[in-house]
Structure 1
């Protein structure tokens, strides 16, 4: 239920972080943002939280009311939207001291920035009064709230003016005295008005004017205000008593004193007396309303909003409700037109008339942030202005934008003026149907996938990156960490933050693509980024993105490249690269790695059934790394058994057999023997299979490259003879023991 159900809402119009995501020539031109990045991201967080709450609420209502949910929001929901609006306003207020202290602003620029935020604050504050009342219903009196709003957006009269008048020996002689007094009465600063009148009462030389000021001071000071009463009825009773017990007895005396005063100053009080006297009549009568309007006009309010404030206080304090505002504002603006050059003022008038499209149209451009976020809030009230275009006749195209979506899309476009806000743009676009999805898709294609540095990374940082890679559905993905390992070719420490930023940017983009079910773009992004990581020899991260893309060939390539690192740079480089691969991909959490001494089959990691043949390569890397760990820790028996298991289970790639057999030589020559004759016979069988011509898998070629050896294939063959000799001696030792 809209807080003001009788408002006549118009139909919607037709569709009217720090990395650089887009090159200047790829990004559509947008004017510079008037808001800081901090403000935009802070309010984006509020907006995103609101969307999640609304989605959950809609789902709950669908369960209760069926598809489409409840036709109107509940009072609790309206109150919640009001709290969101207040959070927006608090974010605005937090910007003001930052602008004041920012030395980069010129005096004129600072004034303009402060005015910009103040205008948006005022629009949101008025929207809260009219559409998001504190009780969630909005059926009560609204006069004092509007009066307070007017005094907030345009404080008047100023305290400095009052101080200057009080400093004078005879302030009533100043040309500013009566206008200042009148504005105090118009604006509801009644204690200040009473104080000025008391000053005249005690110090003015004219006795007639003293009495006149005394009576006026009594009337003004005793005038009831609704804010002083807990209930509406109590306020109505108090105002009735004021009319009968205070105004009625004093009015004849005031009129008499006014008519008997020969002083021009006394005559100037006549409109003020008329205004106060107008409160004596029945507020529902047309004559009373006409008298009040005439009295207000005679006091010369500065603009239509000040006239509205005076009307709230003196003409209809006990009757003015939200439904009464559209005709009242129309009447006021006929005599005091809205300043068309001020977008915020046009928005104020449209809000008071209930013209929601007019509000957003007035705000867009000058206050685009307010247009998008206020439009989003108002849309959740189920106002007719936000009905789908097909229901309003605005368009038959499924891609036609509703009123809310049009302004969110516009705000997302404007955020592209700051390259660091690309993710924020995506989130706003994502709420805008097909057109928004197309914009996200275009950004995904244009986003340069930057990769900083190269080298292995290991430890919790890289594992966290892959954990995020497996999630793919949240916006809090951090990407890979800096890592701890330092294999051959590791990056300098100061390159780590750049790596993290680059990966975070990609992960954020992937999260957006996943949320929008842009599967093709998601896969293409993963594939492209994995390829760039491979080029930089950041194999652990590359595996994570290859798995997300279901790119089995890339996984196999990475596994081979890591084995090549062992051949070319040694054991330390191999271990560092393996440790940079996320544990969740090397060792599935659902199954713990078997004991090295167990002859059971090795587990094969299967992120998906289609990837199983490729991810088995990752399993081998993990277990071969275990072999080195066991050997280094002195667990030579377990290391030997694991090596035999890897060679005989089919997990180890055949091109790597020769290297592994050479690694087994120290274990074969241990005393007493670590392997039994059955195991040695298995190794002999593997050796013979390997040496049988031709060398289809290139095992000897790979062995020839080990450690930068220059002996070629002949040197590799000689090394295999060393392996054969070690196997023979091991077999002889076993025979002796038997």
Structure 2
């Protein structure tokens, strides 16, 4: 793709043409390259004067007070709309290629000699060719200079891919067949000469041979094997004043139309025999041409005999004539090499092509500044590594997909060829393309699909991308008044996490999946979506994280009161049953979640004035050991209202004894210095500081219990010993 000469950031770090002002202000720009991709951070830093060299150095000097913007930029522009479509469509072909190679590897066979495998790879290669063609046509129809540049780029991809397919992926069994006709078809499709405009101009003339472009057009048409155009303009020579030229033109027309083509024969031997007989007819035409007297070899506009002789020389397959004609016509090395396989050596094989190309390039070197030409040269020369090197400069997409096809064709090594990076040739170019895709974070699915095809190194890079997928973690504040927007945002986040999880399952990246679930859980905790947070922590099997969520929910009771607390717990209650069935879940965290749910049910009954069941819930949490000891004091304070309920006692004598037992443990343990374990949450709830106030609150509980037992004694449900113990704990 085209390189970007500069990068624009908003707000601008430096206004255009004002770099001097930046230096005068005592600052410069500093960059830090990302080890993950081609992005880097850019930010202004103070200049530091070097005492040794008395010049400005760009080492960043740390400051404690100045705050500044840090820009994260990419050296590669994100893909355009058309480019996105192209990348997405071709990634499907890439996936099919990976499935094919996996099947081959699984069967223990990796040989392109098998017909079904080679046909499958060829079909996928042709799919790439067709997509490049469609994208070229689409962008060509769009107006604008930028779009035209895009069209030229896709045309380059189209020519390179189709040439690769012709040279390295022919029809099965045609690897050793002559390649001239196929290359001529490729040349005529991608590099059209002569132009249609030239033909239209000449066809409108009464005597076209008088135009200076007539013979160059006719020669180029013959060189390109265009019999219909040649026959038409040779037919116009029937009005030429030279009888010899009229006769020669009529003789050459059937000769051109009967030139043997390989595809017209069932066996190469028949093609070779027909070519030999056709060459004999060309020799007869040469004899006839040489018999034309010198006096009749020119007309008033052109030396027609010399022009016609060049045409016959092409048909004879004379190398020097083809070179001379191509140079006169402004043709390049490609046209000479292709014409060589059609006229000079009609049985030219693919493996013999590099020798011909090397000979031609000595006199007609390619333009090294045109990357498309350099890719063509490398493919013609049978140098896959050099082709990939130039293709990477032209477009990382091209080098990645060429390398992906070259490996199963054994054109590049499958083993790691770089000891430092441990990457094979294919992996290097595919990963380079994946890093380019990473310039657009929205294309993370496609990015990781390429990375995961590149062994351990690629898998590690893909894992890092997955855990950094933009999950819209801070997209909406949790206290937004627009509930519909909040629900939509929650759905977006859940959908993205679901996609990431599916990707992790597909590539068996369990560690990455768990990390993503933890990140999502943390986000839902921040947004107080505790039910989803517990679900994702459970999926990640992060039991300490699950415990932290439960603690956050319990803190909501301290912070917001029982009514809001019960609403939060309603979202996490459904998780309890699933966690109980999960054998991997740690019991301590399930126990804590069970308490949070039971405690919410207790407060819901209080709110509903279902006091009898509320009293039963409170005591059962203590009797069954569900309530953590840190919450005992809170529960006992909650019991004051229930103990004071009149006229019917809500607690049985045994239940009241349970409350008294736990109260005595708190008081005695606090006296022994363990008050922090029992009173901290009560202090938070009461917003008090110090155990002295907490103990006063517990004395209120003791007083409520004393009155309760007194009532029980009066109605005959308890003993006097208990009442005396409440008044004097030493009894």
Q: Would you call these one fold, judging by a TM-score over 0.5?
A: yes
Show the counterpart of 2:33.
none
Q: Is the 8 A contact 1:526 1:546 kept in 2?
A: yes
Report 1:259-408 matches (<5 A): 261-263=297-299, 264-275=302-313, 277-278=315-316, 290=319, 293=322, 300=329, 302-317=331-346, 319-389=347-417, 397=419, 399-408=421-430
Tell whether the 8 Å contact from 1:529 to 1:542 is kept in structure 2 after alignment. Answer: yes
Separation in structure 1 between the aligned mates of residue 39 and residue 561 of structure 2, nearest angstrom: 38
Instruction: Tell me the alpha carbon deviations over residues 71-110 of structure 1, each in whole angstroms, 9 at most, x when there is no partner.
Output: 656332232222332333333334335545667x5x2x33
Asked whether the equivalents of residues 454 and 491 of structure 1 are also in contact (C-alpha less than 8 Å), the reply is: no
Q: Give how far 1:403 is off.
A: 2.1
Q: Describe the shift of the 1:653–1:338 C-alpha distance in structure 2 as closer, same or farther (beyond 3 A).
A: same
- 1:255 and 1:577 mapped to 2: Cα distance? 103
Preserved contact between residue 343 and residue 363 of structure 1 (Cα < 8 Å): yes
Task: Tell me how far apart the structure 1 counterparts of residues 124 and 615 of structure 2 sit (CA, whole Å).
Answer: 65
What's the offset of the Cα at 1:131? Answer: 1.6
**Which residue of 587, 594, 617 corresponds with 1:612?**
587
- Give me the whole-angstrom Cα distance separating, in 2, the residues matched to 1:26 and 1:53: 40
**Alpha-carbon offset, residue 354 of structure 1:** 1.0
Where in structure 2 are the equivalents of 1:33-44 lying within 5 Å? Answer: 38-39=84-85, 41-42=87-88
Residues 558-586 of structure 1 show CA distances to partners (whole Å, capped at 9, x for unaligned) of: 12322444566577755664565596x54
Q: Give 1:623 shift.
A: 7.4
Map residues 435-584 of structure 1 onto 2, 5 A cutoff.
436=458, 451-452=473-474, 492-495=483-486, 527=518, 530-547=521-538, 550-565=541-556, 573=564, 577-578=568-569, 580=571
Q: After superposition, what is the alpha-carbon deviation per residue over 1:11-63, rounded to whole angstroms, capped at 9, x for unaligned?
A: xxxxxxxxx9986668685243676551464157336514641552254233x
Secondary structure of 2:394's aligned partner = coil
Asked whether the equivalents of residues 414 and 426 of structure 2 are also in contact (C-alpha less than 8 Å), the reply is yes
* Equivalent residue in structure 1 for 2:250, among 192, 210, 214: 214
CA contact (8 A) 2:605 2:611 kept: yes
Q: Deviations over 1:327-347 (max 9, x none)?
A: 121122222212212111111
Cα offsets for 1:306-345 (capped at 9, x unmatched): 122322332333x122112111211222222122121111
> Is structure 2 residue 163 aligned with structure 1 residue 129?
no
Alignment match, 1:32: 77
Matched, 1:588 2:569: no
Aligned match of 1:17: none
The CA distance in 1 between the partners of 2:174 and 2:655, in whole Å, is 83
Between 269-278 and 255-264, report the one with greater CA deviation. 255-264
2:148 and 2:307 map into 1 onto residues whose CA distance is 37
Name the residue aligned to 1:140: 177
Give the deviation of 1:422 after TM superposition: 5.5
TM alignment of 1:581-730, pairs within 5 A:
585-588=575-578, 603=580, 605-608=582-585, 611-618=586-593, 649-651=624-626, 653=628, 687-689=659-661, 691-692=663-664, 693-694=666-667, 697=678
What is the aligned partner in structure 2 of residue 178 from structure 1? 215
Q: What is the SS of the residue equivalent to 1:335?
A: coil
Shift of 1:374: 0.9
Please give the alpha-carbon distance, in whole angstroms, between the structure 2 residues aligned to 1:94 and 1:624.
Answer: 65
CA distance in 2 between counterparts of 1:630 and 1:152 reads: 82
How many Å apart are 1:138 and its aligned residue? 2.3
Match of 1:85 in 2: 125
State the 1:146 CA deviation. 1.0
What RMSD in Å do the two structures reach over aligned CA positions? 5.3
Residues 416 and 425 in structure 1, CA contact (< 8 A), matched pair in contact too: yes
User: Residues of 1 paired with 2:536 and 2:277: CA distance?
Assistant: 78
Contact 2:531–2:571 (8 Å) recurs in 1 = yes
Give unpaired runs (5+ residues) of structure 2: 1-37, 43-69, 668-674, 688-692, 718-731
CA distance in structure 1 between the aligned counterparts of 2:282 and 2:621, rounded to whole angstroms: 103
TM-score (norm: length of structure 2): 0.69
Q: How does 1:134-173 map to 2 (within 5 A)?
A: 134-135=171-172, 138-173=175-210
Query: Measured at CA, do residues 631 and 94 of structure 1 come closer, stay the same or move farther in structure 2, by a change above 3 Å?
Result: farther
- The answer as to whether partners of 1:684 and 1:724 remain within 8 angstroms in 2 is no
Retained in 2: the 8 A contact 1:409–1:436? yes
The aligned counterpart of 1:196 is 233
Deviation at 1:125, TM superposition (A): 0.9
CA deviation profile, 1:426-478 (whole Å, cap 9, x unmatched) = 5545555565566567768988876225688xxxxxxxxxxxxxxxxxxxxxx
CA distance, structure 2, for counterparts of residue 93 and residue 582 of structure 1:
57
Q: Tell me, in whole angstroms, the C-alpha distance in 2 between the residues paired with 1:137 and 1:627.
A: 82
Tell me, what secondary structure is at the counterpart of 2:351? helix
Question: 2: CA distance between counterparts of 1:564 and 1:423?
Answer: 38
2:91 aligned residue (36, 45, 68)? 45
Give the drift of 1:406: 2.6
Task: Report deviation, 1:200.
Answer: 2.3
2: CA distance between counterparts of 1:725 and 1:312? Answer: 113
**Distance apart, 1:555 and its partner CA:** 1.2
Residue 66 of structure 2 corresponds to none
The question of whether the paired residues in 2 share the 8 Å contact of 1:658 and 1:700 is answered with: yes
Query: How many aligned positions are there?
Result: 631
What TM-score does the superposition give when structure 1 sets the normalisation length? 0.68
Verify the 8 A CA contact 1:31 1:414 in the aligned structure 2. Answer: yes
Compute the displacement of 1:386 (Å): 4.9
Q: Distance in 2 between matches of 1:493 and 1:334?
A: 72
Contact 1:408 1:429 in 2 (8 A): yes
Match status 1:96 vs 2:141:
no
Cα deviation for residue 350 of structure 1 reads: 0.8
Alpha-carbon shift at residue 372 of structure 1 (Å): 2.0
SS at match of 1:365: helix
Task: Say which SS state the counterpart of residue 588 (structure 1) adopts.
Answer: helix
